[in-house]
Chains A and B, each alone.
Chain A
Amino acid sequence: MAIIKAESVRFHYDTDNEEGAAQSLMVLDNINLDIKTGEFVAVLGHNGSGKSTLAKHFNALLLPTGGQVLIDGKNTSDEHNKYEIRRMVGMVLQNPDNQLVSTIVEEDVAFGPENLGLEPDEIVRRVHDALSTVGMLDYREHAPHKLSGGQKQRVAIAGILAMQPDCLVLDEPTAMLDPQGRKEVLETISRLNRERGMTVVLITHYMDEAANADRVVVMEHGQIIMQGTPREVFSKVDKLRAAGLDVPQPTELCYDLLGQGIPLPEGILTVEECTTALLQILEENNAGN
């Protein structure tokens, strides 16, 4: 069952060029994408590839100028569906500072459910659940500006979870965080996917973040140029480099060694896999001598 279904989605901005003539800037060009319930999809792309624009189509922040986006069968272009779609597809943005509304963590998490018009008891329950899910329950009475970046972003995720969405869309949630914060946020996201079966769409330009996904979608110039399992996608190092993307370091090392004639398997993702493969080759060589 596809929770998010994009059917030949096109999106363009109308702008004026330097001579003042109207021109349209194509940002999304014929995107077809199905995201299944419970799936963890990473959308990769260079700056300006249209990945954030695509994400904003998933919760009706932007409406397609051609084609359609269906969320659980509901068309995003239908005004009546707008708030139901925004509840179903929770979106976490890049800058944690600019998405927290209140001066107290628990009141901020309550903001979403309050907008949904829930009963106070139900809000209290949801805030408690959401904060304990992201491991921030001990900070519920703290002021957001005193938290670290990773903690703030986890609070932002809790704020979305409290609306009980069916799907979580994260638009470069780690871009402004330090390594520790990135780790915290990524662990939270993959735990939500594993343990709660939450559908996750992670927009990122960090390759290593995409390695944990079920499926990787690579975008360039508003089009999907590749998709598949991380292993499939990362084995096509040339194509990724052409799209302005880096591959994870172990993959890159193995690819270059392969180019030098060393017989390594394709699509190595982690440091462990890489060392095992290299050790095996060294042992074979030693045995051969």
Chain B
Amino acid sequence: MLSGITIGQFFPGNSLLHRMDARIKLVLTFAYIAAVFIPRNWAGLAVAVGFLIFTILLSRLPAKLVLKSIKPILPIIIFTSALNIFYVTDGTPLFDWAFIHITTQGLTTAAFIAIRIISLIAGSSLLTYTTSPTTLTDALERLLSPLKAVRLNVHELAMMMTIALRFIPTLIEETDKIMSAQKARGADLESGSLMQRIRALIPILIPLFVSSFRRAYELATAMECRCYRGGEGRTRMKQMHMRAFDIVCIAVVVLMAAGLIVLNFVLPPVI
């Protein structure tokens, strides 16, 4: 029943976006998320959304996938839009009844915010869709390596993330097994009040905890057997290289951000 859970979904492919240097991809994704908040007029927003659509096409992933990533946050989008509709009271009133004032300005703001949120979620899921979790952790380790200067152990942080990702499916499988075992002994997990159901989880969590510690101990032994001694003197099989395409990407994103700022000055703001 838990096998449906996937975290950091990755869809292997060979598109330009897949082959991009993961470090650059990570930085540019953050840059894009920031850039989405620059535009204050429709033209600027259209440029940001256009850029997103262009990258989706570049990834050669079905657009349906990207839309699916928005589904879980739909309630948040609706909630924020609703708040904006009711709270922004500038502009021409369209509907006025008791305490409800809907104005043109409110609707504009709501639409604007909704498009921003959708773009930023779609943009960041595009990152995880086109980059394997290990590559992503690896990129993070390399990007954060300057923090070694302030005595932050970046390597250990990345190692922990890698191991966590590796063991998610294993632990899910184990939870399934323990649940079946407890059900076979008559444990009732699906009925009763909330408190009862929470209490019914205890006999599942305890064996899971115990076995996780056992696994951790064994994994540590196995890592020692393979000469692991922390990040020092360790090399990596996969090297990350910046290629011409990565530089082009950086340039495009920088130009887009600059363009958005210019548009803010040229055109009148709508929000």
Interfacial residues, chain A to chain B (CB-CB below 8 A):
59, 61, 83, 86-87, 90-91, 93, 95, 97-104, 106-107, 110-120, 123-124, 127, 141, 143-145, 156, 159-160, 163
Contact = CB atoms under 8 A, between A and B. Distances in A.
Interface of B: 12, 132-134, 162-163, 165-166, 169-170, 173, 214-215, 218-219, 221-229, 233-239
Given A99-B219, A101-B223, A114-B237, A83 B229 contact: yes
23 contacts: A86-B226, A91-B225, A93-B221, A93-B222, A98-B215, A98-B219, A99-B222, A100-B166, A102-B134, A103-B134, A104-B132, A104-B134, A107-B238, A111-B223, A112-B226, A114-B235, A114-B236, A115-B227, A115-B229, A117-B234, A120-B239, A124-B237, A144-B166
Nearest to B12: A141
Chain B interface main SS type: helix
Nearest to B239: A120
A241 to B, nearest CB: 32
Contacts of B226: 86, 101, 111-112, 115, 159-160, 163
A154 to B, nearest CB: 15
Interface centre among A100, A103, A143 (most CB of B within 10 A): A103
Given A104-B134, A143-B169, 9 more contacts: A83-B229, A95-B218, A99-B225, A111-B228, A114-B237, A115-B228, A116-B227, A144-B166, A156-B222
Nearest to A90: B225
B152 to A, nearest CB: 21
A52 B237 CA distance: 32
A159 B223 CA distance: 11
A110 B237 contact: yes
A101 B163 contact: yes
B178 to A, nearest CB: 15
Nearest to A119: B235
Given A102-B134, A107-B237, A59 B162 contact: no
Contacts of B224: 61, 86
Given A93-B222, A117-B235, A103 B166 contact: yes
Given A104-B134, A114-B236, A61 B169 contact: no
